[in-house]
Structure 1
Amino acid sequence: MPVNLDDPRVKRTRQLLLQSFMDLLEQKKSIYSISVQDIASHATVNRATFYAHFQDKYAFLECWMSDKFRKIVEMRLPDYTLTGTGDLRTLIQVTFEFLARLRKYMTPGDVQFEPMFEVAIQKEIERLLLRWLREKERVQASVAEEMIETTAEVISWGIFGSAVQWSRNPGQRTAEAMTRDVLAVATTVLEPVI
């Protein structure tokens, strides 16, 4: 039975599970080595409660990664919205910084989770862009919804893909230089929509 994500009890339990996982990670455990039982035990809930909220560990990890990325973005964009190219620059910069930090904490056993984390982060970027472009569209009322969705998807993958590639070998260029160049490309792609 699906849980109501707006229910305060559900929110508290999910936050408890996410915090439990963070606590276990801080104890120098790898993502791979932390089991559902470990998370549930540390959160003082049973496994059935965990599975009432998440289909499996992979769904939990995807939620955890989205939550982590969202919180980092919210620190730099307090309303968790984009209002212009300055905010877009901030989002790009945060993405580069976040992936660089994430890579430092990944162990060889955690590599299997990387594609899932990547999709979670890319989807968060896409959601932000989509909300911004739809808000712009309400003002303009001239761009088709399909074009808005495609633009958000292309730019989100462009930002994310550039950040992933850079995080694998950050010594070649600075994050600032990459942010500047990715922003230039993104604003060119955005031009017909905004």
Structure 2
Amino acid sequence: MLTQTIDPRVKRTRQLLMQAFVELLEKKKNVSSITVQDITANATVNRSTFYAHFEDKFAFLESWMREKFQEKLKDELPNGTLSDMGSLRSLILIVFDFLFCTRPYMTLADRQYEPLFQVAMQKELYDLLLTWLSEQSEPSVSRESVETAALIASWGIFGAAVEWSRHPQLKSAEDMAREVLVIVAAGLAPVIG
């Protein structure tokens, strides 16, 4: 995960907008019913402030999803990094849990935002896996192979989590994560030995 130095005023304003959105989400219970006007009114800032920080509602939502997912990773993954197959298993469960917890806020009207959220989360997974695989890969493995392994693993984990989150009553997260880990580990074996 890339960390950047951000002006504290920018950070505060973004946090204010994010908090306003979360409060509205708790009240309205879905993403599509919340407008930029709702967010700015709840945050007590004007619309131009919103647009100074985000291109549009889609950019805001992508940033919100990415930040929430990063927070969950930092809270639940030791040091916010991967170190072994045990931490990879933890990562898989984190993704499953995150999608399970966010699914209630996604209504049929919110389907337009799903691809946006998917790309944001998959990118975070990819970055995390790429960092780990780059450190763990055999010296003979090319950078392209490491990148491909991270790409396939990130989409595999994320895709399985999305499908499971749609019908979590069919199989426990633990059982599903165990199955995903076996497949992902097998796919990563040529890269990390």
The answer to whether the superposition gives a TM-score over 0.5 is: yes
- Give the Cα separation in 1 of the matches to 2:142 and 2:11: 35
Please name the residue that 1:23 is paired with: 23
Matches within 5 A, 1:2-151: 6-137=6-137, 140-151=138-149
What is the count of residue pairs matched by the alignment?
A: 189
Q: Deviations over 1:34-61 (max 9, x none)?
A: 1111111221221111111111000100
- Select between 169-178 and 158-167 the one with higher mean Cα deviation: 169-178
- Structure 1 residues 32 and 81: alpha-carbon distance in aligned structure 2, compared to 1, 3 A threshold: same
The reply on whether 1:158 has 2:156 as its aligned counterpart is: yes
2:158 partner amino acid? F
Q: Please, what is the CA RMSD of the aligned residues?
A: 1.6
Q: Comparing 15-24 with 98-107, which one deviates more in the overlay?
A: 98-107
Shift in Å at residue 6 of structure 1?
2.1
Q: How far does residue 117 in structure 1 lie from its aligned partner after superposition? A: 1.0
Runs of 4 or more above 6 Å deviation: none
CA distance in 1, matches of 2:10, 2:94: 29
Structure 2, unmatched stretches of 5+, are: none
Compute the displacement of 1:104 (Å): 1.9
**How far 1:187 sits from its partner (Å)?**
0.9
User: 2-side partners of 1:99 and 1:127: how far apart?
Assistant: 18
TM-aligned CA deviation for residue 88 of structure 1: 0.5
User: Mean alpha-carbon deviation: is it higher for 84-93 or for 140-149?
Assistant: 140-149
Higher fraction of helix: 2
TM-score by length of 2: 0.91
| Structure 1 unmatched ranges of 5 or more | none
Contact 2:62–2:117 (Cα < 8 Å) also in 1: yes
- Cα offset, 1:163, TM superposition: 0.8
Q: Secondary structure at the match of 1:193?
A: helix
Once the two structures are aligned, what percentage of the paired residues are identical? Answer: 56
2:143 and 2:33 map into 1 onto residues whose CA distance is 43
Equivalent residue runs for 1:164-179 within 5 Å: 164-179=162-177
Q: CA shift at 1:158, angstroms?
A: 0.3
